[in-house]
Amino acid sequence: MILLQAINPGSNVSLVLYFGTIGMLALTIGLIVFIIFHQRKVIRYQLRLQRMEHDQQKLLLNASIRLQEEERQRIAADLHDDAGPLLATARLYLNENLVNLDKTAQLQSIYNAKQIIDDTIQLIRNISHSLMPPTLKNFGLESAVNDLFQKISGSGSMNASSRFHDYRERLQAENELIIFRVIQELVNNILKHSNASFIHLTQNTSGDKFFIRLHHDGRGITQNDFNKLNKSNVGLGLKNIQSRLKVLHGKIFFEKDMSQTYYKVTIELMKEEEDRLPEQE
């Protein structure tokens, strides 16, 4: 700058001055215009992202509501189609004409009515257990999952087993329920769609992370398929899984095993200190 000031009086000052000024002006205006347009571009992009996130949230919410309605309809159908006729039949056996029958016929009617009422009680108990398994509440996630897998194995349709390697301290009740529902949903999907002959569930922890892995030898999906289904209108159950895992800040990975013989689903959760309950004696 000092060099510029100590210039030769003969040099063409005006050219340098004008070109310098015009150059600086052009740079300044260019920079300001660039800043304005760049920011508008960034804002448009962020708005688009927000819109996409909003649409995805809407999709998940709709899926959740639809699933709830389906469950309600199923319960209503079970009660109407099964419990209703049973109780109506029991009523038939216990009408006023009973007093006009002989003792043997009376005893037979009472016995039949009692049988039907027992069946109804069992039916209602099953509906209630499917809504909220008491094993989960009383004994924890490990017992509830073992119970579920034993029932599947017991049905004879496939070989189902589970193993919890490190579940000495139970998680919070709400979190256990969410994880159980996710496992239930995954197992239901495997039963419905995969044609698998075995399912094996393992649980372990690594540092502050909690893992649940589900292996099966049927037709499965990969992470790409999961992402595509999540963005579409189908895949209600998968959307439900995603919503539930979002509550726990968890992740889910779908992949084919390295040996290419079976599919693996991994659920990863953070194991917070406050989630743990004191060890039960």
Give the interface with other proteins as residue ranges (CB under 8 A): 1-2, 4-7, 9, 13-14, 16-17, 20-21, 24-25, 27-29, 31-32, 35-36, 38-40, 42-43, 46-47, 50-51, 54
Q: Among residues 51 and 228, whose Cβ is nearest to other proteins?
A: 51
Query: In the structure encoding, which two tokens stand for residue 108, read together?
Result: 């037979």
Contact 210, 268 (CB under 8 A): yes
Q: Among residues 21 and 223, whose Cβ is nearest to other proteins?
A: 21
Contact 249, 208 (CB under 8 A): no
Max Cα–Cα distance, the chain, nearest Å:
139
Q: In the bound complex, what is the minimum distance in angstroms from residue 172's beta carbon to other proteins? A: 30
Contact 203, 142 (CB under 8 A): yes
Contact 93, 105 (CB under 8 A): no
Q: Among residues 28 and 68, whose Cβ is nearest to other proteins?
A: 28
- Residues with Cβ within 8 Å of residue 124, at least 6 apart in sequence: 79, 83
Q: In the bound complex, what is the minimum distance in angstroms from residue 52's beta carbon to other proteins? A: 10
Q: Among residues 28 and 197, whose Cβ is nearest to other proteins?
A: 28
Q: How far apart are CA 53 and CA 121, in angstroms?
A: 46
Q: Among residues 52 and 277, whose Cβ is nearest to other proteins?
A: 52
Q: In the bound complex, what is the minimum distance in angstroms from residue 64's beta carbon to other proteins? A: 20
Q: Among residues 32 and 121, whose Cβ is nearest to other proteins?
A: 32
Q: In the bound complex, what is the minimum distance in angstroms from residue 46's beta carbon to other proteins? A: 5
- Residues with Cβ within 8 Å of residue 25, at least 6 apart in sequence: none
b vs e for 221-241, b when ≥16 Cβ sit within 10 Å of the residue's Cβ?
Answer: beeeebeebbeeeebbbbbbb
Q: In the bound complex, what is the minimum distance in angstroms from residue 35's beta carbon to other proteins? A: 5
Q: In the bound complex, what is the minimum distance in angstroms from residue 250's beta carbon to other proteins? A: 24
